[in-house]
Amino acid sequence: MSSTVFITVDKGIARLVLSNPERRNAISGAMWRSLADFAASAATRSDIRAAVIRGEGTLAFSGGADISDFDATRADASGAQTYDELVEGVCAATQALPFPTLALVHGACVGAGAALAANCDLRLAADTAFFAIPAARLGLGYDPRGVARLVRAFGPQATRMMLFTAERLSAERAFALGAVDQIAPAEEVDAAADRLLARMAENAPLTLRAAKLSIRAAEGAGGGAFAEAKRQTAAANASADYREGRLAFAEKRPPRFKGA
């Protein structure tokens, strides 16, 4: 079975499923490119209010980078650098998406999978999930930009433990560290994710966009992030959605936001 990313959009929610079940949903070069294509197209789509990334089935979010690709894509330092740039481009593009992103984690979330999950705005995990970075067991240098993402999501101490020992970080421990926003029994976590996604999708998209930019600016993002956050905040305050929100509150009914 070939590796792919299944992508659907319904009721304002984009659902991306990493599918490579024979390799625990390991992410191939083709899958990274599919994620890049999605990020490029979704950045300007008004019908998407939130996105969720998950692995096919419940055994793994992702077992990491597809090692079967390594001889073709990462056989030497030059190939590894090219691969790192591909991954970094995907992570930067998904991080810049104007709507919230959620990683729904079942089972193993390893290596490149952990980096992708760390890149999302929110993480929900089954109580059977775990995170791990096995680079030290492969002799592989881990891109500093990827390390920075792990530090932001898991904190420096947990990142040290994962990188230095290559051991697993349980979902329970990740939740205690604030790296996972919610854990639930494996049979209940999908429903919990659906509730969270629906709640975000019904909120004002311009407000969420401004909030996401403000959080990134507070985290130290460069490139004029603070100025752009201020601009987007002003746009939300001047929007028809803000007027709709006030009217809906006064009329005691759910608001109908249009993103304008």
Whether 134 and 11 share a structural domain: yes
Which pLDDT score is estimated for 70? 60
pTM: 0.91
pLDDT in tens, 37-59: 999 999 999 899 999 999 999 99
Whether 176 and 107 share a structural domain: yes
pLDDT in tens, 161-208: 999 999 999 999 999 999 999 999 999 999 999 999 999 999 999 999
First to last CA, the chain: 43
Which pLDDT score is estimated for 143? 86
What is the total count of domains within the chain?
A: 2
Whether 196 and 246 share a structural domain: no
Whether 98 and 146 share a structural domain: yes
Whether residue 244 lies inside any domain: the answer is yes
Whether 25 and 146 share a structural domain: yes
Whether 10 and 102 share a structural domain: yes
Task: Report the alpha-carbon distance of residue 34 to residue 103 in Å, rounded.
Answer: 17
Distance from CA of residue 147 to its chain's centroid? 15
Burial of 256 by CB count in 10 Å (0-12 exposed, 13-18 middle, 19+ buried)? exposed
Whether 146 and 240 share a structural domain: no
> Could you tell me the mean pLDDT of each successive run of 10 residues in the chain, 260 residues long?
90 96 92 94 93 97 82 63 85 91 97 93 97 90 89 94 95 95 97 97 95 90 83 95 95 93
* CATH of residue 133: 3.90.226.10
Which pLDDT score is estimated for 167? 94
Whether 122 and 211 share a structural domain: no
Which pLDDT score is estimated for 221? 73
Whether 129 and 220 share a structural domain: no
**Domain, as residue range, for 110:** 4-201
Which pLDDT score is estimated for 74? 56
